Amino acid sequence: MIGKRCVTVFLLALLAVIFANDILAQQSDTETPDYIYRTRAGDTLIGFARRALIEPGRWQDLQRLNGIANPRRLPIGTPLRVPVAWLKQTVVDAEVIDIIGTVAVGGRALRVGDRLAEGDELDTGATGFVSLRTGEGAVIVLQSGSRVVLQRLRRYDGAAAHDTRVELESGRAESDVPTGNAGRFEIVTPVAIGAVRGTEFRVAFDQQDRSARNEVVRGEVAVAGLGGGATAETAIAAGFGARTDSSGRTAPPVKLLPAPQLAGPAASFDSPTARFSLRPLAGAAAYRAQVAIDASLRQTVVEQLIEANESAPAVTITGLDDGEYWLRVRGVDASGLQGVETVHRFELRAQPLPPTLLQPDPAGKQSATATFRWRAAASGPHRLEVARDAEFAQVVIERRALAGEELTLESLAAGEYVWRMAAERPDSTSGPWSESRVFTQKALPAPPEPIELRDRTVAVSWQADSGQQFRVQLARSAEFKTLLHDEQLTEPRWQFSSPGPGSYFVRVQHTDADGYVGPWSAPTAFEVPAPRWIRWLTVVSFLPLLL
């Protein structure tokens, strides 16, 4: 009787121990998340426990938790549930791999190559962007206006896995978690937790309405709401997104907007302004545009939100240096979810800036020499082109490496021309062209001819165009220092009283109907002979000298 009672007590005690261990395992399973390990060739439960667990003796708890019959024979690929609290862990860091603008951590500005520790708080400010690489190789890009806390940066020793948890207090984070990460990767907002594995996804938290948005590009995200209105865990597949409100309620996932289309985007711009027109996208309330200096689109230098209610939505970019850029545009739906992106590479070649054209004026005229004046916007030489057509297909004059701000051409055939200028780069290529201007090169006015000498008058005429007025001058020298006559005329002819015997010079200046005053013509020389009786008197006066 006593023997049976002892056996009964022993069996009850054994059951109590087993039950207690099961309860312990269940409590561990409930109170701490599990890490799923996929067994490999040669794995045993005991070997795994020695390698990965804080207490290797808990291999038996693992056996019961996973219902493993033979701890020495584990088929390859068997999923092994391990409470995270049982695993050996090492605190690791995250590396800053890209940064634009000023991003602060603990009151100091971050630099590329800095290492960040568990518990660090980052603030990107209004214009900063920063990219981090965590231990498992995930890349987290924090957008402008973001504040985050690196809550957990751990590595599970012996299990080839990591445990990363980032709290997004405000702003936007875009993460690319490599496939094959066996650990955990979580982005936490005040209203929801997003857990992923091998996923590219985006998370945003809006401080104003206390809502979070998850957008999945690749893989799948499990979103669990936080708060009194939290719904059951929501699985969001690739190409879908969901909004979690301030109570923790996650709305059913919706399909993300398709990629917007650019209307005939240019690949290169030679002006400081780059403009891209957007084709209207159904369902878009706005468009989010970003410009980056790298193909991975992590180093963002421009960010814009364009309202979709504009009749012709467009992205207009100014203030960038010459170089290669990548434009990314996403449609934004009414709930704030950003859709699939379109990416376009383009190049800016806007420097050095062209000079300001001064002379000839627009639609101006020149005669004789052709003089060009400009005001330089950049140091260094300049380039000039003069053409017969607005497309510069018929360039008649090209001058390069021009120094200073003025050039005079001694001869240019009469006609209508177009001119433009550009600044030259050190490699002898040219920057963007200035505006083009039209001017008219007029022929020099023909000198007055013929000269008609009459008894008491002199008659002069010259060629002219309709509507012109004239100024004519008479002098004894070709320099016209002392004027005998200076007349304003409306007809291309002049008749005046003979000034007396001697040599004279006459010249004319034309004024067009539009007010343009041309240069003086070349002077015409003429001789007014003495009267015949004066000539005979002169001859007679010399006769005594000849006798």
**pLDDT tens across 198-234, in order?**
799 999 999 999 999 999 999 999 999 998 777 778 9
Peptide bond into 352 cis (omega under 30): yes
Return d(Cα 389, Cα 415) in angstroms, integer. Answer: 11
Closest by CA position to 73, among listed 63, 61, 83: 63
Buried b (16+ CB within 10 A) or exposed e, 225-255: bbeeebbeebebeeebbbbbbeebbbeebee
Q: Cα–Cα distances in Å, from 2 out to 6, 13, 15, 220?
A: 6, 16, 20, 62
CATH class of the domain comprising 356-442 = mainly beta
pLDDT of 516: 85
pLDDT in tens, 267-307: 999 888 999 999 999 999 999 999 999 999 999 999 999 99
Q: Is the pLDDT of residue 4 over 70?
A: no
Q: Which helix (H) or strand (E) is 221 found in, with range?
A: strand 220-225
CATH superfamily of 451-532: Immunoglobulins (2.60.40.10)
Closest by CA position to 118, among listed 69, 153, 83: 153
pLDDT of 96: 98
Position 9 confidence tier, pLDDT thresholds 50, 70, 90: very low
pLDDT in tens, 381-403: 999 999 999 999 999 999 999 99
pLDDT of 20: 36
CA angle 122, 128, 133 (to 5 degrees): 55
Position 343 confidence tier, pLDDT thresholds 50, 70, 90: very high
pLDDT in tens, 235-258: 999 999 999 999 999 999 999 999
Position 539 confidence tier, pLDDT thresholds 50, 70, 90: low
Q: In the chain, list all ranges with CATH 2.60.40.10.
A: 356-442, 451-532
Q: In the chain, list all ranges with CATH 2.60.40.2550.
A: 261-348
Average pLDDT over residues 163-176: 96
Average pLDDT over residues 64-84: 91
Per DSSP, helices labelled H in 53-117 are 59-66
pLDDT of 29: 36
Q: Is the pLDDT of residue 18 over 70?
A: no
Burial class of 465 by CB neighbour count within 10 A (0 to 12, 13 to 18, 19+):
exposed
Average pLDDT over residues 522-543: 71
What is the pairing mode between strands 79-83 and 34-38? antiparallel
Q: What is the mean pLDDT of the chain?
A: 88
> How many percent of the chain have pLDDT more than 90?
68
Q: In the chain, list all ranges with CATH 3.10.350.10.
A: 2-83
Q: Is the pLDDT of residue 12 over 70?
A: no
CATH 3.50.50.60 for domain 90-255: no
pLDDT of 462: 92
Position 324 confidence tier, pLDDT thresholds 50, 70, 90: very high
> How many percent of the chain have pLDDT more than 70?
89
Average pLDDT over residues 502-522: 90
Closest by CA position to 292, among listed 326, 343, 329: 326
Question: In this predicted structure, which of 25-29, 163-167, 170-174, 334-338 has the lowest mean pLDDT?
Answer: 25-29
Q: Is the pLDDT of residue 443 over 90?
A: no
CATH 3.10.350.10 for domain 2-83: yes
Q: In the chain, list all ranges with CATH 2.60.120.1440.
A: 90-255
pLDDT of 149: 98
Q: Name which residue leads in pLDDT, 1 or 498.
A: 498
Q: Is the pLDDT of residue 451 over 90?
A: no
CATH 2.60.40.2550 for domain 261-348: yes
Q: Is the pLDDT of residue 11 over 50?
A: no
pLDDT of 102: 96
Q: Is the pLDDT of residue 15 over 60?
A: no
